[in-house]
Amino acid sequence: MLPSHLPDPELYLPGTGEPSLRWGIVGPGWIAGEFAKALRAHTAQRVVAVSSRSADRAAAFAAEHGIEVALGSTEQLVTHPEVDVVYIATPQSEHLSIGLAAIAAGKHVLIEKPITVSAAEARTLADAARAAGVLVMEAMWSRYLPQTSVIRKLLTDGVLGELRVVLADHGQAITADPQHRLYRPELGGGALLDLGIYPVQLSSMVLGTPTRVVAVGGMTKTGVDAYSTLVLTHEGDAQSTLYSSILAKTPMTAVIAGSEATISIDGSFYTPTSFTLAESNPFGSALTWSDPTDLKLFAGLSWEATALARFVGEGRTESPVHTLDETVSILHTIDQARAQLAAS
């Protein structure tokens, strides 16, 4: 039997005691622009500096987003005395080196997903962060969205019964340009690292680290994974089936199924969205949850920024809802899948 009502979300609301940190952005691309807009409109955080290898590009970004300081090098930004947190939005091939530089400078760090291109690199980053006593967090914004906190509560309360299945897909039709970053192996391209990480992290959140990984798919001519289906085996007779692609747009929905009930998350499941909780009985009752905050699309990036500030204010050195160990584990799963695809 379903509960009489769905739980309220735990929100990372601005102005609830978290410090107003000063942020510096490395890599003034599209996602950095969305992030800067979300911070300015929906948080108590402040973007005070931006850097790019192109000083002109940094200056243009700063002018567009009302940022006071534009810098022509990463070193200048990570060592800038007015920066508390470094947000890294460069190609993932650069995440490790920039993250280590920021950690060495004593800064807290938020790094766009994937945090690095491999589990080994992520472990190096995690070890450095722990040694330095700074907070390092992957910008897995899905973990901080309102719907995720409601889903986690339902899982914790055992509403779904014995957890059995996770199904999720993330496919985008990316132009087949060999110069596009997702087609370039030296930049950490491919569907799994950039898109497939969302289904994999959902599976990890629900069912934990898999005991077996099987990947079937295909590669591009440039040598990155173009599409794949991952079948993950978990303890307790549970299984995940996860699809990702850079060749075609898919529904981008997700299902979490248990012995007693099923959660169906509407597309795009990794963004602010709605979901339905339904009894396993096909004629049973159902409850639908919709986001009450009205923060849509990339405005939802604000939740992870406020969460990071809250964690810093609490003296934490990692996210309690997306730990560094789990971040490494997710990349280990992707490492195994990528190796199988490359060898097939």
Separation of alpha carbons 25 and 22, rounded Å: 10
What does the pLDDT look like over 242-258, one tens digit per residue? 999 999 999 999 999 99
How many residues belong to the chain? 344
What does the pLDDT look like over 206-253, one tens digit per residue? 999 999 999 999 999 999 999 999 999 999 999 999 999 999 999 999
Which band of pLDDT confidence, cut at 50, 70 and 90, is reported for residue 92? very high
Separation of alpha carbons 275 and 291, rounded Å: 9
Question: SS3 for 151?
Answer: helix
pLDDT number for residue 197: 98
What does the pLDDT look like over 109-154, one tens digit per residue? 999 999 999 999 999 999 999 999 999 999 999 999 999 999 999 9
pLDDT number for residue 4: 86
Q: Yes or no: say if 238 and 165 are a contact pair by the CB < 8 Å rule.
A: yes
Q: Yes or no: say if 79 and 24 are a contact pair by the CB < 8 Å rule.
A: no
Q: Where are the domains of the chain?
A: 22-142, 143-294+321-343
Question: SS3 for 18?
Answer: coil
Residue 113 annotated in active site: yes
What does the pLDDT look like over 155-213, one tens digit per residue? 999 999 999 999 999 999 999 998 899 999 999 999 999 999 999 999 999 999 999 99
The answer regarding whether domain 143-294+321-343 maps to CATH 3.30.360.10 reads yes
Residue 28 has pLDDT above 90, yes or no: yes
Q: Yes or no: say if 213 and 192 are a contact pair by the CB < 8 Å rule.
A: no
What does the pLDDT look like over 281-328, one tens digit per residue? 888 899 999 999 989 999 999 999 999 999 999 999 999 999 999 999
Residue 77 has φ and ψ, to the nearest 5°, of: -75, -50
Among residues 224, 150, 144, 153, the alpha carbon closest in space to that of 192 is found at 224
pLDDT number for residue 232: 98
pLDDT number for residue 1: 80
pLDDT number for residue 17: 93
pLDDT number for residue 344: 86
Mean pLDDT of the chain: 97
Of 107, 113, 153, 296, which one is the catalytic site residue? 113
Among residues 146, 101, 87, the alpha carbon closest in space to that of 309 is found at 87
Provide the whole-model pTM: 0.96
Residue 236's alpha-carbon distances to 160, 207, 208, 210, 305, in angstroms, are 14, 9, 11, 11, 35
pLDDT number for residue 193: 97
- Residue 282 makes CB contacts below 8 A (sequence gap 6+) with none
CATH of segment(s) 22-142:
3.40.50.720
Task: Output DSSP code: residue 246.
Answer: S
